[in-house]
Structure 1
Amino acid sequence: MFAQVSNRIKGLLMVITGATLWGLSGTAAQVLFQEKQITAEWLVVVRMIMAGSALLLFAACKRMAILSIWANAKSIVSLLLFGFFGMLGVQYTYFASIATGNAATATLLQYLAPVYIVLYVMVAQKHRPTKEVALAIVLALLGTFLLITNGSTGELKVPFISVFWGVLSGVALAFYTLSSAQMLKKWHSILVVGWGMVIGGGGMCFVFPPFPLPEVRWDVETWLLIVFVVVFGTLFAFLLFIESIRYLSPTESSLLSSVEPLSAVVASIAFLHVPFGLFQAVGAACIMVTVLLLSPKKERQSSNSTSIT
């Protein structure tokens, strides 16, 4: 009995730590974009290739057959689509939203993904929305409106381009989750995510080579922030989340991962002094409630899926 309680606490600590690191990595990225002149394209390429390669190396050390996922044409096509449109789509739109706005808003807008997933499933399966789903959708719309306007229709508190990228990030995360569901039934998530990152980052290299940017001041702080985003905010965060599922149900891990937008908001306010009005806080709370309402439904649609932002 004590061992079960101890394992559950271990799982809780893992998922909360991992989600917090995900949220803090967005804040670190904001500093890199807006104070260090690092571009979103450069950071996406470096983050995906380095973190993806590290995940595959970790898988090899665990004696996983890392090339087995390339066994047939169907899995190759699925993996390529996931890497380019799912993984790369999520990474680039999320960082573009941060670069043009702030990490708090970008993370919250990305967390509207469960709404898009539920709407897609309802249309595909021709289901009418339940009262719970209808409430979640209303809260999502209200939360988004308050988040970007702070209750005033006269002006946006967040640049429109940032909102645009943030909404696209949520759509990309929804595609990421749905497109990975079938692969995750056959292959370990470390292999799927690792290869997805390498494919997406490798493909983007042809458009945005990761050469040192001449306008960037490559000081110690810049390198530490990059290491934090790649190692702690990506690699460790993902591994902690995956390990937590050994001790918690997937539903519990999914719900607790909503700590990510909360940590992004708190860090943005505390460290970057991002203005966050009362109505924006209410909007953030609405989106958080939406995540809590829809996460169990998303779980039933894709119980093995996992996300990384």
Structure 2
Amino acid sequence: MTLADPFGRKVTGLRIAITSRCNLSCLYCHREGEETGLSGRREISDDEIVNVIWAGVDLGVKRIKLTGGEPLMRADLESILERLPENLEISLTTNGTHLVGRAQSLAEAGLDRVNVSLDSLDPLVYSQITGGTEADHHRVLEGIEAAVEAGLVPVKVNMVVLKENEGEVWDMVNYARDRGVILQLIELLDLQGRGIGGDLSRIEEVLEGRAERIVTRDLHRRRKYFIDGAEVEVVRPIDNTEFCANCSRLRVTSDGKLKPCLLRNDNLVDLNSADREETKRLIERATLLRSPYFCEGRKPYR
């Protein structure tokens, strides 16, 4: 079975925020589009996470992305992974500060790969962007090495391009080449209009001029640049029509709600500790509520 929304977009992935807790305070964090300032919010349970994933697999879901907050704030993550079905692609996005001590156990529990946030190789700039300490920065670097050693590959290093760090892009390209990881340069999703984003368009022009090979991925039409052994992917989350037209994910919030769109909170579907069959019906309902946010008049793409 394949899920598809009214605009013909197939749903093949679930992106699940397994906690809203985080030990950093990054300038660019959009909190997976969740509303902030709400007191007394519960945290999605381990049973609910496992249940919604099994229900999604019944409906044709192939890929799971675990996010937060910082997902490694959950001590039960390995036990959750061990309860998930086989033949799934399971990845995790982390700030990396707790990765060095858990990379191997996560791999053994069933995690396939990780994306690790690293916005600067300079501890001071890192602190300015994330609120983390020099020790945090060192742990992230160690965590990336540990993830590679544990086989959580390909390890992708996420760098949100800001005015503070855009001058480091080529140092980061060299870092990625030397460690055999993929560098993802991410355009800022500037929902508050603060004007802190770097000039990714200019950077991409230089990438295009230096690349020996360029590949365009199906997912959101992302471009990958291969430069002297380095692999660099440019992620443009606000590339409106293409981003929406190729969206294949349904989100799950950290308090247990299905979220059809990153930028909307008016059409959430509460899982409410439903059993597996009811959860499947709720997923189908949420899929029917999916509508491209960046779409004039909400016109179908097909």
Give the TM-score band, short-chain normalised: under 0.3
TM-score between both structures, scaled by the size of structure 1: 0.23
User: Which structure carries more strand by proportion?
Assistant: 2
Which structure's residues are more often helix, by fraction? 1
**Higher RCO (CA-CA < 8 Å; seq separation 6+):** 1
Give the TM-score taking structure 2 as reference length: 0.23
